Structure 1
Amino acid sequence: EGAGQMLVKPTEGGGSVRLVASGSHRGEKDESFASTLGDYELVRMGSSLKACIVAEGSADLYPRFGPTSCWDIAAAHAVVSGAGGIVVGPDGKTLDYDLVENILNPFFLVAADERWTADWVAHQE
């Protein structure tokens, strides 16, 4: 009994992408990145719950183009990784929580898999 293993569930070919995003912090970069996805469904919610929705398999992507602190996403990053998803910074590499310089995260992408990483990196300029 109890819960089974949580696994990301990337959208099958031909289906619309489920994109989770902030209910209050959307900007030009968010819209520009979303426009590269083709057909997509936008689901709005707050905080690291968005990352957990990707881990659960109910959404494909959570792009974050706004400021967050390390504690806003670190635990959800562990959940996403454990489910087989990725959390990458602006360079497309796994998000690093090096607190030596700053407690703020760079922009990041939570995704069910790596297929959107190149588009993500291209939208950092």
Structure 2
Amino acid sequence: MKLIQTDNAPGAIGPYSQAFATNGLVYTSGQIPVDPANGEVPEGIAAQAEQSCKNVGAILEAAGSGFDRVIKTTCFLADMGDFAAFNEVYARYFVSKPARSCVAVKTLPKNVLCEIEAIAEV
């Protein structure tokens, strides 16, 4: 297993890693919309979805992968009412339409509106 770490995505806020690569796949931890440059969270679902996607992308890049190699994502929303707005942003990044699960959860870390994790080929 190879630990994947980049300063271009937020560091872990708990006892976990940004990602691990093994057997030709990279598994990212869930990425919330924290800007790694300043630690801030943007307002609104569209801006938060954008930042979460950017964070996933930075980790994929650090692993030698990219959005076009994503096999599966799991998306978490604080409010399923944000589903359409989230999808609008998500679709611009995950153009290969990987398999996906999307669920609403009661609360996400730092009270953000979304979180995205991915599995991709390296």
TM (norm. structure 1) is 0.32
TM (norm. structure 2) is 0.33
Q: Which has the higher contact order (CA 8 A, sep 6+)?
A: 2
Q: Which has the larger radius of gyration?
A: 1
Greater strand content: 2
